[in-house]
Amino acid sequence: MSNYIPTMGLEVHVEIKSNSKLFSSSANTYGMATNTSVNVIDLGYPGTLPTLNKEIIRQGIRACKVLNCNITRKMHFDRKNYFYPDNPKNYQITQNRTPIGTGGYVEIEVDGIKKKIGISDIHIEEDTCKSAHRGNVSLLDFNRAGVPLIEIVTEPCISNSKEAMAYLIKLRELLFYANISDCKMEEGSMRCDANVSISKTEKLGTRTEIKNISSIHNVGLALDKEIERQEEVLENGGVIREETRRFDDKIGETILMRVKETGNDYRYFIEPDIPYLVVTDEFIEDSLKTLPLLPDELRKKYKEVGLTSLQIEKLIANRSLNDYFLGLLEFKTNYVTAVNLLLSDISSYLNKHNKVITDTKLSYEKLVEVIENLESRELSNKNIKDLIDSLMETDKTLEELKKEFNIQNITDDSFINEIITKVIENNPDSVNDYKNGHDRALKYLMGQVMKETKGSVNPKKASDMLVKELNK
Amino acid sequence: MSKYLDLSIKEIHELLVKKEITPLDLVDEALKRIEENKDLNAFITINDKVREEAKNLGEVDPNNLFFGIPIAVKDNIITKDLKTTCASHILDNFIPIYDATVVTRIKENKMLIIGKANMDEFAMGSTSETSYFGAPLNPHDKKRTAGGSSGGSASAVSSSLVPLALGSDTGGSIRQPASYTGIVGMKPTYGRISRYGLVAFASSLDQIGPMTRTVYENASLLNILVGEDEKDLTSVKKNKEDFTRLIGKSIKGIKIALPKFFISDIVDKEISNRIKDVINYLEQNGAVVDIVDMKYLDTAVNLYQIIAMAEASSNLARFDGVRYGFRAKDVDSVDEMYGKTRGEGFGDEVKRRIMVGSYILSGENAKVYYDKALKVRDDITKEFNRIFKDYDLIIGPTTTRIAPLIGTSADDPHKAFMDDVLVIPVNMAGLPGLSVPVGKNSNNMPIGLHIIGKAFDEATIYKLASFLEEVF
């Protein structure tokens, strides 16, 4: 039964980040009160015409770049005609014949094997209203009508659910890092449809489409289930129909929505209200100027400054910390120490207070000074825990804080030696225990040293000196 | 009864400046004339706030020729707070919440909108008989139509109910009624005047234009209607110019082409003869008139039927009863709501065109008909450009016959298009075209001369038109 070869393709819609909508000046926002970001154009009012938000073309060009697509130089928009209450003009303005990008790919790695997932095209289009059904009435929220989308369509080249999930994770990371979209599946700013077919031969089988799968995890589940379902149908002598299904994550099955009778007839034609758009070299260059470093470029860069792959992945998974760290690279400091601080005490603070690092008063200069003090052992890790709230919340300098918290700079070896000598003199029993091989005694003695110095000496340094003294 | 509205606008303006009359006097006279000529059925809606507006117009601006002048606006041009029906049941109670760009310009120039002029439903027709509110009549013979689709505008200006009107022209809808009613009607170059707020019929052909009693007044009104509009991407940026500047200048040496098709046997004999008189007169006055061969002119009606109906089928999709306008009662599903709303809301001609347009765009038809029509359309444009290499203007009769009798056009939809056979090619090429009266036939019905200019060369058209206006 398992000698069927599955083939899958994904169609992903992401909402493009922009100030205003694709064809009107209404704000492109999420979570506003119903029908408050709406004007006559979004309502499909008679006589209105679309304008074109060039910023979205720029975003499209950036998407082409990060997804390795060829940029279409002369493009137009098309009307896709269909009646539906969430479609204000009863046509959607999209790009049918001249998608902004073609022939791209996303490279993924599954079980150590790299693969390029081909992208046949990416195109720009407008979103529909959001509809809600209450009993026998339907309600429409036009805030979403006209929000810019890009649709990214893969070749039918995905072989299993792991590849599909890896592709989506990579796609999300790329578009998110390129500032093209928030890519939040839970808020609908990233949506995924999947086409699935199975076959025993080279010729592809009849495909079914699973609409609007709600998470990357569910894409994996839905694809596996659908492959299983199709195998069962074929093994039982049935045929696969062209149909649209949805994935119900409560019961873990794909469910039939409708059978496609004939090919959809969207009566496409060139949108006459928007002139052809010619994209110049200058426009492309200018659009790509603001493209930030992408994850793979970051990985390379971070490796060069000595971060471990675990540190790198943790950093990239946290966009605001990553961006902050990227800024820190302009300063000369110990980046490994910096990342450790960012991922430990600073992250704990941020999580505890539900803040992002840009909300805090931790300037790069202050952080560099903290790192220097750690390096020179003028600050201990314990000091950091004491200072962290003040470091993040006040404008006070490190020097001021050290005074305030009474942190002395005990780096003077003779002072430490004095303390150690005193501790050894006062604890002859423990010294004896240590000499007889009881490690616990060392811990006790070390504790005494720390107590005498009120924790203001570097523990490692003090420990080294103590051992040296004991072994004399 | 006062007779101020029989005066030229210049004369009215002088009286206003001298404070011998007020805008309210003009408005009252216009309202009285409309009332007395109710049988013309030129208006669908009277602006019941116009007297108020006239009172509040403020001090006369001696530099504004149009200050306080009443104007009629075709009822497919959106007017805020003033019912805009498109002569259709589906919008018969539609009160817009914004102004078309041309309406804003009219208001800025202190003209007074008397009311909304009757027309063919959604501008689809050649005699205004498809109006839900009944056909407007021709003041020269009330048994005859005023033409269409801007029949109400033509009827109102021709009978001096108002001195000025706005029309719209998709396939001759300004020029043909102007010709039938003996007034001056200009369809400017596509892109000259913003279409924002013109309820779209065929977006790539529609153009708003002025309809007036004299050439000078027409050119003056055009002066204030034109200009790039950021709300209409197909509007064109041009240097400001005065369209009256060539009026009164010598026509000596002007080169005029007369395509054979325009004097072929499709044209009524009396009209052909009048055109010959015009040519003789022009030649006597130093113009060069050559009869030329022009290809593709005879294809224009077919192209029009394909392109205009395809676009219309999409443009009119938004009238679905969901957001505005008429909604059918007693429906159980969304599909039934669509069907009944549109079935009851639209008239026969509109439904016919939507069906034909939908068919034309369906599946493979889009390639066979629509794409091919666009190619031939390019050829027509090239053919015009070829002629315009050697000639300044192209002339011919505006119509093949005088205004038809009411009730004779509805039976044969294809024949009705033949009323526009001479004017449609101009829309295909996006060129400016004007109809100017050149006398009457033996039944005392007006005959119009059609003058076609190079793109954005409306001024030369006005020069020739005003020269002939003096004589015929």
Per DSSP, the residues of B238-263 read -----TTTTTTS--TT-EEEEEGGGG
Residues with Cβ < 8 Å from B287, sequence gap 6 or more?
B251, B252, B253, B254, B255, B256
Strand ranges (DSSP E) for B293-443? 393-397, 433-440
Q: Known catalytic residues of B?
A: 74, 149, 173
Segments making up each domain of chain A, as ranges: 5-278, 293-404, 413-470
Phi, psi of B447, rounded to the nearest 5 degrees = -120, 140
C-alpha distances (whole Å) from B232 to each of A270, A273, A384, A391, B95 are 16, 8, 60, 54, 22
**Alpha carbon distance A105, A69 (integer Å):** 7
Which class for A314: exposed (0-12), middle (13-18), buried (19 or more C-beta within 10 A)?
middle
Would you place residue A191 in the very low, low, confident or very high pLDDT band (cuts 50, 70, 90)? very high
| pLDDT above 70 for A64 | yes
Would you place residue A461 in the very low, low, confident or very high pLDDT band (cuts 50, 70, 90)? confident
Do the Cβ atoms of A105 and A65 come closer than 8 Å?
A: no
**Alpha carbon distance A330, B65 (integer Å):** 66
Question: Quick check: B230 contacting A, CB < 8 Å?
Answer: yes
Residues of A in contact with B104 (CB under 8 A): none
Q: Compute how many other C-beta atoms are within 10 angstroms of the C-beta atom of residue A472.
A: 6
The first and second tokens of residue A345, run together, are: 């005490």
Taking only the tens place, the pLDDT of each residue in B106-146 is 999 999 999 999 999 999 999 999 999 999 999 999 999 99
Q: How far apart are the first and last CA of chain B?
A: 29
Would you place residue A141 in the very low, low, confident or very high pLDDT band (cuts 50, 70, 90)? very high
B97, B204, B317: residue with CB nearest A272 = B204
Average pLDDT rounded to a whole number, residues A421-427: 86
pLDDT at A408: 66
Question: Quick check: B197 contacting A, CB < 8 Å?
Answer: yes
Mean pLDDT of chain A: 92
Do the Cβ atoms of A321 and A298 come closer than 8 Å?
A: no
**Alpha carbon distance A233, A235 (integer Å):** 6
pLDDT at A458: 72
**Alpha carbon distance B186, B219 (integer Å):** 9
Taking only the tens place, the pLDDT of each residue in B12-22 is 999 999 999 99
Report the half-sphere exposure of A238 (CA within 13 A, side-chain side): 9
Q: In what helix (H) or strand (E) does residue B176 lie, and over which residues does it extend? A: helix B175-181
More confidently predicted of A469 and B25: B25
Would you place residue A411 in the very low, low, confident or very high pLDDT band (cuts 50, 70, 90)? low
User: Distance (Å) from the C-alpha of residue B115 to the closest C-alpha of chain A?
Assistant: 18
The first and second tokens of residue B129, run together, are: 């008989």
Length of chain A (residues): 472
Task: Specify the CATH number of the domain A413-470.
Answer: 1.10.10.410
Question: Residue with structure tokens 């009705």?
Answer: B416
Question: Quick check: B77 contacting A, CB < 8 Å?
Answer: yes
Mean pLDDT by 10 residues, chain B (472 residues): 90 97 97 98 98 97 98 98 98 98 98 98 96 98 97 98 98 98 98 98 98 98 97 97 97 97 95 97 97 95 95 98 95 94 97 96 91 95 98 98 89 73 97 98 97 98 96 88
The first and second tokens of residue B108, run together, are: 């800025």
**Alpha carbon distance B341, A85 (integer Å):** 13
Residues of B in contact with A42 (CB under 8 A): none
Instruction: Give whichever of A250-264, A342-356, B112-126 has the largest mean pLDDT.
Output: B112-126
Residues with Cβ < 8 Å from B427, sequence gap 6 or more?
B169, B170, B171, B172, B187, B190, B205, B207, B304
**Chain A interface residues facing chain B, Cβ-Cβ under 8 Å?**
40, 43-52, 79, 81, 83, 85, 88-91, 138, 140, 263, 265, 267-270, 272-275
The first and second tokens of residue B462, run together, are: 């006005």
Binning chain A into helix, strand and coil, the percentages to the nearest 5 are: 40, 20, 35
Taking only the tens place, the pLDDT of each residue in A441-455 is 888 888 888 887 766
Which CATH superfamily hosts domain B1-472?
Answer: Amidase signature (AS) domain (3.90.1300.10)
Do the Cβ atoms of A228 and A274 come closer than 8 Å?
A: no
**Alpha carbon distance A157, A7 (integer Å):** 6
User: Distance (Å) from the C-alpha of residue A273 to the closest C-alpha of chain B?
Assistant: 6
> What pTM did the predictor assign?
0.90
- Closest CA relative to residue B210, chosen from B307, B96, B65, B50: B65
The first and second tokens of residue B424, run together, are: 């449609």
Would you place residue A415 in the very low, low, confident or very high pLDDT band (cuts 50, 70, 90)? confident
Burial A381-405 (b: 16+ CB within 10 A, else e): eebbeebbeebbeeebebeebbeee
Do the Cβ atoms of A360 and A374 come closer than 8 Å?
A: no
Under DSSP, is residue A253 helix (H, G, I), strand (E, B) or coil? Answer: strand
The first and second tokens of residue A409, run together, are: 């700079």
pLDDT at A263: 62
Residues with Cβ < 8 Å from A351, sequence gap 6 or more?
none
Cα-Cα-Cα-Cα torsion B421, B422, B427, B431, nearest 10 degrees, comes to 170
Cα-Cα-Cα-Cα torsion A217, A220, A222, A225, nearest 10 degrees, comes to -130
Would you place residue A261 in the very low, low, confident or very high pLDDT band (cuts 50, 70, 90)? low
pLDDT at A88: 97
**Alpha carbon distance B437, B421 (integer Å):** 18
Do the Cβ atoms of B213 and B163 come closer than 8 Å?
A: yes
| pLDDT above 60 for A403 | yes
Contact (CB<8Å) A51/B363:
no
Residues of B in contact with A138 (CB under 8 A): 334
C-alpha distances (whole Å) from B125 to each of A20, B21, B88, B359 are 39, 39, 13, 20
Partners of residue A138 on adjacent β-strands: A133
**Alpha carbon distance A177, A294 (integer Å):** 6
Q: Compute how many other C-beta atoms are within 10 angstroms of the C-beta atom of residue B465.
A: 25
Do the Cβ atoms of A81 and A113 come closer than 8 Å?
A: no
Least confident of A3-7, A92-96, B165-169: A3-7
- Closest CA relative to residue B184, chosen from B429, B420, B398: B398
Segments making up each domain of chain B, as ranges: 1-472
Residues of B in contact with A275 (CB under 8 A): 233-234
Residues with Cβ < 8 Å from A330, sequence gap 6 or more?
A364
pLDDT at A178: 96
- Closest CA relative to residue A104, chosen from A42, A170, A6: A170
Under DSSP, is residue B74 helix (H, G, I), strand (E, B) or coil? Answer: strand
Taking only the tens place, the pLDDT of each residue in A285-314 is 999 999 999 999 999 999 999 999 999 999
Alpha-helix residue ranges (DSSP H) falling in B391-456:
413-417, 424-429
Sign of CA dihedral B293, B298, B301, B306: negative
Phi, psi of B322, rounded to the nearest 5 degrees = -80, -50
Nearest CA in chain B to A262: B363
Question: Residue with structure tokens 């003996």?
Answer: B182
Residues of B in contact with A131 (CB under 8 A): none
More confidently predicted of A455 and A196: A196
The first and second tokens of residue B399, run together, are: 């119509």
Which class for B93: exposed (0-12), middle (13-18), buried (19 or more C-beta within 10 A)?
exposed
Under DSSP, is residue B330 helix (H, G, I), strand (E, B) or coil? Answer: coil
Contact (CB<8Å) A47/B230:
no
**Alpha carbon distance B165, B186 (integer Å):** 11
Contact (CB<8Å) B233/A43:
no
Residues of A in contact with B91 (CB under 8 A): 46
Question: Quick check: B200 contacting A, CB < 8 Å?
Answer: yes
Contact (CB<8Å) B91/A46:
yes
The first and second tokens of residue A419, run together, are: 């303390």
Question: Quick check: B324 contacting A, CB < 8 Å?
Answer: yes
Length of chain B (residues): 472
User: Distance (Å) from the C-alpha of residue B361 to the closest C-alpha of chain A?
Assistant: 5
Nearest CA in chain A to B310: A269
Name the residue type at position B123: A
Helix axes A381-393, A364-375, angle to 10 degrees: 170
The first and second tokens of residue A350, run together, are: 């941020």
